[in-house]
Amino acid sequence: MRVLFRCDGGPDLGMGHLVRCSALALALVRQGATLTFVTTSGEPALSFLARQGGEVIAANGIRAGSEQDVAWTRDQAVGAGGLVVDHYAWSGDALARLATSTDAAIVIIDDLATRDLSAARLILNQNLLEAGGAYAELDPDRLLLGPGYALLRPDFAAPKTRRASAATPWRVLITMGGADKLGGTEWALRGLSAVKEEVEITVILGGANRRRATIEALTGTYPRPLRIRVGLNASEMAAEMDRADLAVSAAGSTVWELCRLGLPVAAVMTADNQRFAAGTLEHLGAGKSLGRLSDTPPEVVAETVNRWLDAPEVLSRMSRRGRDAVDGRGAERVARRIIETRR
């Protein structure tokens, strides 16, 4: 079975759509599928997709979700059994037009629950625990909801036992996504500079981050030990998470990787599509939502981390709850459901 992915990413869109599609793609390959990635993005998206082991078809000058995009995607999907769309620019009307012109089973990866997605065979929202909004009238059997379906790469499957002692220095990880166009990394660093306990900080910068040089220049003047890692692959990212005690993160798909590896997460919303993930994270007791980046002063980071480090048992409880909520098999479950649509 061939499965086609329609997804974009880069400095403006971020890399999260591509990363989670790659996790699902790997799970599909393990179940015998072949892959095609269809994108209107340039670099670094093209290089990232080329490393995923499938065919990559790119087109410049096509507006995402437009009539031209629908026709182009339809043409690429000839002979495909599944068609995964992970793109907010695709409206319900665009998806309906695509559904009437292809035999492929359409699968939507969504975070918003605001569009009419009735044309899809399956709808995945790993951030939402129960149906609501635009999903309310849909057949529940078509809905794959919650972090049990989180699309994690295999590198994040096996958590280690996290320390429960108050030994210092505490190791804090900052990860704000592949692009971080709002400056969440600098915001987190300002907040963490006021933490009372002794901490070591590691910053993960994505390959699409345009302020890399500015952030790297902080290593000589920042008041805490500071490591900066750039452009990590999944294995390297998992290793950095493994060595940390807690994380300050954008509230995107990364929060589920952090949960699986047992890291308590102070999550900040850097985009509207992260609202459900932040709320679900806090509801599960695996971390805290700090609110929207634009509305939250960096002092809130220090206040949150100070409270946590004063109570290591709270960190241990959040760690357990995160691991309980995310078992690392979400991509496998979604892949199996996609394959089953053609049987």
CATH code of the domain covering residue 29: 3.40.50.11190
Residue 216 has pLDDT above 60, yes or no: yes
Per-residue pLDDT tens digits for 275-294: 999 999 999 999 999 999 99
**Do residues 332 and 317 share a domain?**
no
In total, how many domains does the chain have?
2
* pLDDT band at residue 163 under the 50/70/90 scheme: low
Q: Between 49 and 160, whose confidence is greater?
A: 49
Average pLDDT over all residues of the chain: 93
Considering 123-137, 228-242, 325-339, the range whose residues carry the highest mean pLDDT is 325-339
Residue 164 has pLDDT above 60, yes or no: no
Residue 162 has pLDDT above 60, yes or no: no
**Do residues 307 and 335 share a domain?**
no
pLDDT exceeding 90 applies to what percent of the chain?
83
**Do residues 109 and 159 share a domain?**
no
Per-residue pLDDT tens digits for 102-155: 999 999 999 999 999 999 999 999 999 988 888 999 999 999 999 999 999 999
* pLDDT band at residue 14 under the 50/70/90 scheme: confident
The pLDDT value recorded for residue 12 is: 86
129 by Cβ neighbours in 10 Å (0-12 / 13-18 / 19+) ranks as middle
Per-residue pLDDT tens digits for 68-111: 999 999 999 999 999 999 999 999 999 999 999 999 999 999 99
Predicted TM-score (pTM) of the model is 0.93
The pLDDT value recorded for residue 210 is: 84
The pLDDT value recorded for residue 342 is: 80
For 256, the domain range is 155-325
The pLDDT value recorded for residue 165 is: 52
Q: What is the CATH number of the domain that holds 295?
A: 3.40.50.2000
**Do residues 295 and 179 share a domain?**
yes
**Do residues 142 and 160 share a domain?**
no
**Do residues 332 and 264 share a domain?**
no
* pLDDT band at residue 331 under the 50/70/90 scheme: very high
